[in-house]
Amino acid sequence: MTVRFKLSPLCLAISLASGGVAQASQTQQDIVVTANRSATQISDIAATVWVVEGEEVREQVDSGVDFKDALAQLIPSLDVGSQSRTNSGQQMRGRAVLVMLDGVSLNSSRGISRQFESIDPFNIERIEVISGATAIYGGGSTGGIINIITKKGASGPTTVSLLTGGKTGWQSSDDFDGKIAAAVSGGNEQLDYRVSLAYAQTQASYDADGQQILPDITQTSSQYGKQVDLMGALGVNISPQQRLDFTAQYFDNRQDSDSGAYFGPMFAGFRDESLIAVKDGLQLSDQPETKRTYFTAKYAHQDFFGQQLFVQGYYRDEEMQFYPFPRINTQAPQLSSISGSNQKTEVYGLKAVMNSELKDLNTQLVYGIDAERENFTSHVQYYDFMAAAASGGLVYQPLFQTGRYPELDIDQLALFLQASSQLTQQWSVSGGLRYQYSNTDVSDFVGLTQQYMIATGAYPSADAVPGGSADYNEWLFNLGSVYAINDAHQLYANFSQGFDIPDPAKYYGNGSYNMGGVGPTLEQGISVANNKAKGIKTNSFELGWRHQGDALQTQIAGYYSISDKKISFDSRSLAVREEDEKKRTYGLEAAAMYAFANDWFVGANGHWIKADKKVDGDWQKLEAAFASNSKLNAYLGWQPNDLSLRLQGNQVFDYKDDQGSQLNGYFVADLLGSYVLPVGQLNFGINNLFNKDYQTIWSQRAQLYYARITTPAVVTFEGRGRTFGISYSVDF
């Protein structure tokens, strides 16, 4: 990572897109918005802040690096990527990440981990990152915040941007991923715009031994996908003090494959891994897909009764289709089934922020309200089990649909106040409160197994687990301080609280049934009213130092976070539980870059982490399934004139818990480069330069997650072998 604590110049529209209010006359280069929900110089922020420019992301991605791996390369405390659709288990500082798009959360109450499958990097302006728990944005951010800020238009002549490229490992005719993208932007003093379309297509992926990587039938594979990202942005300057911004996106990534994971006749591969292979002949009409429609409208007034006003309304509608997964019941073969779920989320909300400067007190106040409503529905498509089993998991003949989880309506309302005071020329303090209220309406729900039995005709009906309404509220607090040793060095300390809640779709709707008589009779079900999903609060402490010099840029922070409850789930039923258990994570997060005078530069970033839980009064290592690996990234670069070369390496370290389960680390190197042509720019790269043979961390997690419902070979996903990437881009 090129350690940058400065941004490219920010216009008002871009700052608004981040979820805060910026000064119309702001000229400083080192401004971010995500940290305090108002335009703030990084040197004044009492937190660990990283800014990743869009050019840095595209340097990685346009040279062939997977987007999630590129983020892990550039963000020190972010775990490595899965190389598949999911970002499940990809934590920051060992805890959950809140991913946002232009200040709007992509996280939902239903914990589906596809937030990074949300945008083509061609449309990213920059990414603002806050490490550690934060009280400012509410739930889901106990590990940190990643705010992806999209490209907008700007006043000036019309500009056309084009990009085309691809990557391959030269293993077969199917071993090629391609991409093409185009954008038109421009504007004048009253109006600016940008319209873009990016299309990408992936095919087969191969490991270091030249074997095709097994498709993921749990969280779904990224092979054989067709991705479309259509975006439009419009900005209108109503007056010198007022501005409107609109952004719309249609995103669709759908698998379109004639090949799939083969598990042998009658799924014998679940017992004999030698039968597992990738074969042609897949017949599946509902292939894995992520489809999202997103719209946001923003209004800013720079002098609203002497204050700055920012209002943002947004709407997000997304649908996610999963691959069929077999559930083989050896005790009752007639209950064996194979099914794939479809899950839909619709969210709309409003954010309002006021920024007030108390000049006499040398204090800035930021306060406002967040309101949101979310609706979640789901169903599961069952297929003919015998047809699927006879084909080894390649032929899927639809039978019927049932409900997958209870329908949910979730209303959230939050009030917040943040204050920052400059006590002396060198010393500032900041702090604030957030009150979060949430109400969840849960529909009645017949158990999944009971629905299946009714659909197959085994029973005419079954009792439903009663739904109901549950609410919770949380108070969150943060306090920080920055001491500027001089213009180049700052020390900072911070305390902040974050919280998570159990996945209500899995938490509710569960019950035990008496299977005798004419139909399943509910014996006991989770009472919504008596089993409220309380927030799990995390207290986070950090102490850091950053330095911004002409040649050397560094930042290092030590942190400690602790929570007194945990969210767990049963790996057979996948039901979520909330249990009393103290968990602590602590470690160091750091980055440094030094630029030599002769066009060379060198840098590194890393994350050392420890995670423990308290059992019978003693601290033990956290289970490997939920822990994060320490990691170290290092790079050496050379940039003479039009040529740029970068050799980077990523070392993931082993992790082993007290029960003997472990996540094996690995080392992967990439060689990236670019060359500025007379017209346009060429990017090229060799990923996994030394053709390292390894299993992804997600593969190793999946073997622990799904240990009770499948054999490890079914969820063994090798890392991609050596691949060659090339792309060409031009603006005119």
Q: What is the pLDDT of residue 136?
A: 84
pLDDT, tens digit (0-9, with 9 covering 90-100), for 327-347: 887 777 777 899 999 999 999
CA quadruple 419, 473, 538, 92: dihedral positive or negative? negative
- CA–CA separation, 438 and 565 (whole Å): 19
Q: What is the pLDDT of residue 592?
A: 97
Give the tokens for residue 397. 């003949």
Q: What is the pLDDT of residue 575?
A: 59
Q: What is the pLDDT of residue 547?
A: 95
Provide the pairing of β-strand 600-615 with 552-569.
unpaired
Q: What is the largest CA-CA distance in the chain?
A: 84
**Residue ranges with strand state E in 144-224:** 144-150, 156-168, 177-187, 191-201
CB 300 within 8 A of CB 306: no
Angle, CA 450 vertex, CA 466 and CA 332 arms, to 5°? 145
Checking 104-107 for CB contacts under 8 A at 24+ apart, the result is 104/19, 104/294, 104/296, 104/312, 104/314, 104/316, 104/349, 105/137, 105/140, 106/316, 107/139, 107/140
| DSSP 8-state assignment for residue 275 | G
Provide the pairing of β-strand 97-101 with 144-150.
parallel
CA quadruple 91, 37, 350, 12: dihedral positive or negative? negative
Q: What residue ranges of the chain have pLDDT lower than 70?
A: 1-30, 34-36, 567-577
pLDDT, tens digit (0-9, with 9 covering 90-100), for 260-314: 999 999 999 998 999 999 999 999 999 999 999 999 999 999 999 999 999 999 9
Domains observed in the chain: 12-731 (2.40.170.20)
Q: What is the pLDDT of residue 500?
A: 83
- CA–CA separation, 607 and 628 (whole Å): 10
Q: What is the pLDDT of residue 2?
A: 40
Give the tokens for residue 80. 């490595």
Angle, CA 638 vertex, CA 635 and CA 641 arms, to 5°? 150
As beta bridge partners, residue 341 has: 380
